[in-house]
């Protein structure tokens, strides 16, 4: 069982409401779910769609074929009619479209009339449509009713009752009228958690003890701020919407210097504004976690679409030479744990740490049984209370064997806690002494970097342990590459090499990935950008060259399983 549902229409028609309700109902019923959204950068109008793939087996990518299309406007039919599977069905309300479709794969469902007649208000048509899809699949509405009670709990009994009746009416209508519906639904397993990349980063930050988050809204990073802000009272977090990204990063640095774990997040152009702050973190050795949600550029580019084109910009961000840590999760699960690792390593080594994502990972929802909270680490490495008060002396930038200086909380003792954006001495005071300058660079850069690199995990090898064909990816391409490997592994010795801990580049002693690359007959680097930035990073770090065995996509859309499978097969046929 592996079905795809697509809900299409204009912004403002409740596409996300129906898609979100269906995805939750299916995941809570125990199915594996993967959702994807495609929306234009406008509040109303434009063509949007919400796509749900669900199965009795784990799914981690989008497919091009659609089994059920819910068309809220004519454009949805024009754009997606050809995507239908052989047994696919389009449901629509002819009163919206002002026309009837007589082809056998169309089913006219009067969403609006059902909502008015049974729920008492046309506004409940989205609930009727949600019930209609479940009716087509032969899935009962108990879970959906529970979601309605949950979602409308503050609206009163009348609204709840009306929506339940509208859902039941839609369900009953398609159950009785859809003669062509022949979906085979297997027994579900246990109720599952549904989470997207944005929520996972926010949850990871909260679990890591983040107490201050500042940002200026910018897609696709805005969701992180919204998620944390929604929970700020519950977890004692201050969330500040700054006037711009320059303020956002400097507020976070100030909060970190004052003694709490702090984070900021932005996208493309906003990150360009943050560069002086990134360097300030490097010079003052102030811990900070920065989420960078990549989007197609340059400039405002395609604000609500996806691309992996800011990797090299990030690696070279800030001016001057200082260490930084870069993680690029490929799944919400990785986003959760790597956000925690970013906080831990940023505090331990007093360097900026980045979690890099994109619109695709930010918005796609995955199902999991749970995340393991006991894997979350928290070590408060700051000097506080008696430990600080009893110190005979304190030097913020003291030279040490590891390069890591004591990090005290200002105002908590008689010790002066000071730093400077100019070069400084061990006490944190400005200096231009050449010998001190050399020692500070060596402390910040040369002593810390080897230690940080030891903390970096190797890339994930998935599939054949001695592959003839090796598909290489990073960040959000994880899911689609993994499914391509699953499909081709019946006939080929194939594997995926996925990098989620990008910089410092992983050591080979933990996994000899260079040997895997050299010994494979075909190694292909797969990226959502125009210049294969990760392939260039591998070449710079290891000398390995893919020799044009690269699959690139830079139209602002993610790879689909069908599309990538075709491109990989084309490379294999040339062997």
Taking residues 166-173, report their average pLDDT: 96
Half-sphere exposure at residue 121, Cβ-oriented, CA atoms within 13 angstroms: 11
First to last CA, the chain: 33
Average pLDDT (35-40) is 94
What average pLDDT does range 189-199 have in this prediction?
96
- Res 44 pLDDT > 80: no
**How large is the average pLDDT for residues 318-326?**
97
On whether the CB atoms of residues 281 and 257 are closer than 8 A, the answer is: no
Average pLDDT over residues 539-546: 97
Q: What is the mean pLDDT of the chain?
A: 96
Q: Tell me if 214 sits within 8 A of 264, measured CB to CB.
A: yes
In this predicted structure, the answer to whether residue 12 has a pLDDT above a threshold of 90 is: no
pLDDT in tens, 59-83: 999 999 999 999 999 999 999 999 9
Three-state SS at 238: strand
pTM: 0.96
Half-sphere exposure of 135 (CA within 13 A, CB side): 24
How many Å apart are CA 292 and CA 564, to the nearest integer?
A: 26
Q: 48: which 2 tokens?
A: 């949007």
43 pLDDT more than 80: no
- DSSP 3-state assignment of 5? strand
Q: What is the pLDDT of residues 93-146, one digit of tens each?
A: 999 888 899 999 999 999 999 999 999 999 999 999 999 999 999 999 999 999
Could you tell me how many residues make up the chain? 575
Q: Crossing angle, helix 125-137 and helix 15-29, to 10 degrees?
A: 40
pLDDT of 69? 98
**Cα gap 305→359, rounded to integer Å:** 6
Contact by Cβ (8 Å): 194, 329: no
For the cut 80, the answer to whether the pLDDT of residue 203 exceeds it is: yes
pLDDT at 564 over 90: yes
- Close Cβ partners of 209 (under 8 Å, ≥ 6 residues apart): 261, 343, 378, 380
Q: Give the whole-number percent of the chain exceeding pLDDT 70.
A: 100
What 8-state DSSP symbol labels residue 398? -
Task: Give the span between the Cα atoms of 63 and 559, in whole angstroms.
Answer: 9
Q: Which residue do the tokens 């895997």 mark?
A: 516
User: For residue 266, what pLDDT is reported?
Assistant: 98
Q: Look at residue 245 in the predicted model and tell me its pLDDT.
A: 98
Q: What is the pLDDT of residue 189?
A: 86
pLDDT digits (tens, 9 = 90+) for 405-425: 999 999 999 999 999 999 999
Strands 106-108 and 84-92: parallel
| pLDDT-above-90 percentage for the chain | 93
What pLDDT does 11 receive? 86
Nearest-angstrom CA–CA distance, 53 and 168: 23
Cβ neighbourhood burial of 44 (10 Å; 0-12, 13-18, 19+): exposed
Asked if pLDDT for residue 182 goes beyond 90, the answer is no
Closest CA to 194 of 21, 448, 47, 377: 21
Token duo for residue 553: 């996509």
* Beta strands at 66-71 and 45-55: parallel, antiparallel or unpaired: unpaired
Average pLDDT score over residue span 204-220: 97
Interval 363-375 mean pLDDT:
96
d(CA 401, CA 235): 37
Contact between 67 and 3 under an 8 Å Cβ cutoff? The reply is yes
Cis preceding linkage at 504, omega within 30: yes
Q: Which is it for the CA torsion 360, 363, 366, 369, positive or negative?
A: positive
Question: Quick count: other Cβ atoms within 10 Å of Cβ 374?
Answer: 6
Q: For residue 378, which of 214, 204, 259 has the smallest C-alpha distance?
A: 204
Q: How far apart are alpha carbons 257 and 419 in whole angstroms? A: 9
pLDDT of residue 355: 98
For residue 491, how many other CB atoms are within 10 A of its CB?
A: 8
């Amino acid at each position: 069982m592996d079905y795809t549902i697509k809900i299409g229409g204009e912004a403002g028609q409740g596409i996300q409401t129906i898609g979100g309700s269906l995805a939750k109902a299916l995941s809570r019923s125990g199915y594996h779910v993967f959702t994807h959204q495609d929306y234009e950068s406008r509040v109303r109008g434009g063509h949007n769609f919400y796509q749900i793939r669900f199965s009795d087996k784990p799914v981690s990518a989008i497919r091009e074929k659609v089994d059920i299309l819910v068309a809220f406007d004519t454009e949805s039919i024009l754009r997606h009619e050809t995507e239908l599977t052989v047994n696919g069905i389009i449901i629509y309300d002819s009163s919206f479209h002002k026309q009837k479709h007589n082809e056998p794969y169309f089913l006219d469902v009067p969403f609006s009339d059902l909502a008015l007649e049974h729920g008492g208000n046309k506004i409940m048509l989205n609930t009727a449509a949600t019930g209609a899809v479940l009716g087509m699949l032969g899935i009962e509405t108990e879970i959906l009713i529970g979601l309605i009670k949950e979602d409308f709990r503050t609206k009163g009994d009348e609204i709840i009752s009306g929506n339940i009746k509208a859902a039941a009416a839609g369900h009953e209508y398609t159950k009785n009228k859809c003669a062509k519906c022949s979906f085979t639904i297997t027994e579900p397993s246990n109720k599952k958690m549904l989470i997207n990349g944005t929520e996972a980063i926010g949850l990871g930050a909260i679990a890591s003890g983040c107490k201050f988050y500042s940002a200026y809204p910018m897609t696709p990073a805005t969701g992180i701020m919204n998620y944390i802000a929604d929970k700020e009272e519950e977890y004692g977090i201050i969330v500040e919407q700054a006037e711009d990204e320059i303020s956002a990063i400097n507020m976070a640095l100030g909060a970190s210097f004052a003694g709490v774990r702090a984070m900021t997040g932005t996208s493309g152009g906003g990150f360009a504004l943050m560069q002086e702050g990134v360097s300030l973190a490097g010079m003052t050795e102030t811990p900070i976690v920065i989420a960078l949600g990549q989007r197609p550029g340059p400039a405002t580019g395609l604000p609500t679409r996806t691309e992996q084109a800011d990797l090299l910009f990030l690696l070279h961000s800030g001016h001057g030479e200082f260490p930084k840590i870069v993680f690029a999760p490929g799944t919400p699960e990785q986003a959760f744990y790597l956000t925690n690792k970013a906080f831990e390593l940023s505090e331990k080594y007093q360097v900026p740490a980045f979690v890099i994502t994109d619109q695709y990972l930010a918005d796609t929802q995955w199902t999991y049984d749970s995340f393991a909270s006991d894997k979350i680490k928290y070590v408060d490495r700051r000097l506080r209370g008696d430990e600080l008060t009893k110190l005979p002396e304190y030097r913020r930038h003291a030279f040490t064997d590891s390069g890591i200086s004591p990090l005290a909380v200002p105002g908590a003792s008689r010790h002066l806690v000071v730093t400077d954006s100019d070069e400084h001495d061990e006490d944190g005071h400005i200096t231009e002494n050449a010998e001190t300058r050399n020692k500070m660079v060596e402390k910040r850069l040369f002593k810390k970097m080897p230690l940080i690199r030891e903390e970096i995990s190797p890339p994930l090898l998935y599939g054949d342990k001695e592959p003839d064909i090796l598909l290489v990816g990073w960040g959000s391409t994880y899911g689609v590459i993994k499914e391509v490997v699953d499909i081709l592994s019946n006939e080929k010795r194939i594997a995926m090499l996925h990098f989620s801990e990008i910089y410092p580049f992983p050591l080979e002693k933990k996994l000899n990935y260079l040997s895997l690359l050299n010994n494979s007959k075909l190694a292909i680097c797969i990226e959502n950008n125009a210049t294969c930035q990760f392939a260039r990073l591998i070449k710079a770090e290891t000398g390995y060259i893919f020799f044009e065995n690269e699959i690139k996509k830079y139209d602002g859309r993610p790879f689909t399983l069908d599309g990538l499978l075709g491109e990989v097969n084309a490379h294999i046929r040339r062997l």
